[in-house]
Amino acid sequence: MGNQLIWNEQYNIGVDIIDKEHRKLFGILNKLFDFRRQDEKSQWGCHEAVKFFREHALQHFADEEAYMESVGYAGLETHRRIHKNFRERTLPALEKELERTKYTEDSINHFIGVCAGWLIGHTLVEDHAIVSGETVKQWENLLPEEEQAVMGQTIAGLLHAMFRLDAKLISACYGGEKFGDGVYCRLIYRTGGKKKCEYFLVFEEKLIAGMIGGVMDIPSEAVDIMRMHVEEYVAKRFVERVKEYFPFGEPFETEEEQWLTYEQFRRVFEKQSPQFSLLFDTGNGYFAYCMAASDLLPEGDGAMTLTQNAMAEAEKYLRREEEGKDAEGRKKKLLVVDDSDFILQMMHELLCGDYDVVTAKSGLSTIRGITLDRPDLILLDYEMPVCNGNQVLEMIRSEKEFADIPVIFLTNRVDRESVRKVLALKPEGYLSKSLPPESVKRKIDQFFQKKKESPKTVRPPFLTATLNS
């Protein structure tokens, strides 16, 4: 990302109160470029600049809407919808990311990229339309907000099911803003009757590298060797999963797949009138999902309405995810915590066939791992140095949102006194490290089976001191 935003006279629309505020908002974003260093002073400066930007943006929206109303602008409601999305969804999400990451350079770049791209695009298109008297065609086919919400939840659910990403929708009017180095995919489908549907998937580069690294089980730096083929597979498979929930009634065949530069993507995308144009923060990078199917719209309708069947399928899928039941192909997530590389490797090899296994070597990395991706079960070494299992369990139980995560201790000690101390901490139980591997695997399988049979039982009573007998 560059170091400054350059004001261009083409951004002026000829309305003094609007033009002045646009220049002010550009100036505030430029201040953020100066506060990206990692020190206490720069963090305070970023915080103040973001607060200042929000206050001016909200006042600008109010002034602009009042002006549009005073001149009887026909596109007022569309404009209001775009303002509302940015005000109520995009800005709060960007601010939360800044607070959560303590104003890292990546999160500041996200803020600047999304806000600057939105401001420039909105000024050149929607705001210029105010004085020309034309309505903006790009957003005329956006589906109603409730249908946007269903699609947003479905995409977030699929990102979690396929890639274990906890995505949050930050914009339902993604206008092609550049939020970082990205990978831009365009998939074009046609039916036998030549009806056309286009999908645009935008992956932040670090996100796609992490996703592909996970799919291929290879380090991120080795991804480039087969990157294009795997990206194609990931994008097509994702679109196919979405189409399962929102069928069009007649089969589509792939006509063309394109990998675009950002400039090519912008030129193509600005000509679209999408039904969905969604931007997500996955916690590991940004992702945009856009769909344009203008020639599939029923004659006389302004938008393609999701079928009741598709809505019901999406809601059923989301309900299943929320209830914690296994979707097809979804594995339970285990977090194994031990200071021994040998134990971690052994447990990973033992369990990875049936479970999604993540490892950690310390109490701190345990808490970080839980925060980023909540596990279904924690296998926790009791005898770790520095911060032992007792202390880690206390930290987990002290946080309300983590307190109900089941924890099973791993221990080398199985004498009566040691077992008594372990069980006094009220874990789900303990496993002796001296158990045969097949016994460890069987006991973990039994844990999930009993939990499935008694879902309301918080602590399935199966792991006891008799395990080593």
Give the amino acid at 214: G
> Do residue 69 and residue 196 come from a single domain?
no
The structural domain count of the chain equals 3
Task: Report yes or no: 430 and 411 within 8 Å, Cβ to Cβ.
Answer: yes
- End-to-end CA separation in angstroms for the chain: 62
- Give the Cα separation of 445 and 334 in Å (integer): 12
What pLDDT score does 288 carry?
A: 95
> Do residue 310 and residue 349 come from a single domain?
no
Task: Report yes or no: 335 and 377 within 8 Å, Cβ to Cβ.
Answer: yes
What pLDDT score does 1 carry?
A: 47
> Do residue 188 and residue 301 come from a single domain?
yes
**pTM beyond 0.85, yes or no:** no
> Do residue 311 and residue 353 come from a single domain?
no
Of 104, 136, 168, the one marking the end of a domain is 136
What pLDDT score does 216 carry?
A: 45
> Do residue 168 and residue 267 come from a single domain?
yes
Q: CATH number, domain at 286? A: 3.40.1550.10
> Do residue 144 and residue 289 come from a single domain?
yes
Give the amino acid at 194: K
> Do residue 171 and residue 235 come from a single domain?
yes
Q: Which domain holds residue 80?
A: 1-136
Range list of β-strands (E), 34-86: none
> Do residue 58 and residue 155 come from a single domain?
no
Of 282, 310, 329, the one marking the end of a domain is 329
**Facing residues of 257 across strands?**
187
> Do residue 159 and residue 303 come from a single domain?
yes
> Do residue 307 and residue 366 come from a single domain?
no
Query: What is the Rg, in whole angstroms, of the alpha carbon atoms belonging to the chain?
Result: 26
What pLDDT score does 397 carry?
A: 77
Mean pLDDT, the chain cut into blocks of 10 residues (469 residues total)? 67 87 86 65 79 90 92 89 92 90 85 87 84 79 84 86 85 89 88 82 85 50 52 78 69 82 90 92 92 56 39 48 47 88 87 88 77 83 72 77 84 66 71 83 88 58 38
Of 136, 168, 188, the one marking the end of a domain is 136
What pLDDT score does 165 carry?
A: 84
**Token pair recorded at residue 105:** 């350079």
- Give the Cα separation of 255 and 250 in Å (integer): 15
> Do residue 150 and residue 131 come from a single domain?
no
Task: Report yes or no: 180 and 202 within 8 Å, Cβ to Cβ.
Answer: no
What pLDDT score does 462 carry?
A: 41
> Do residue 186 and residue 303 come from a single domain?
yes
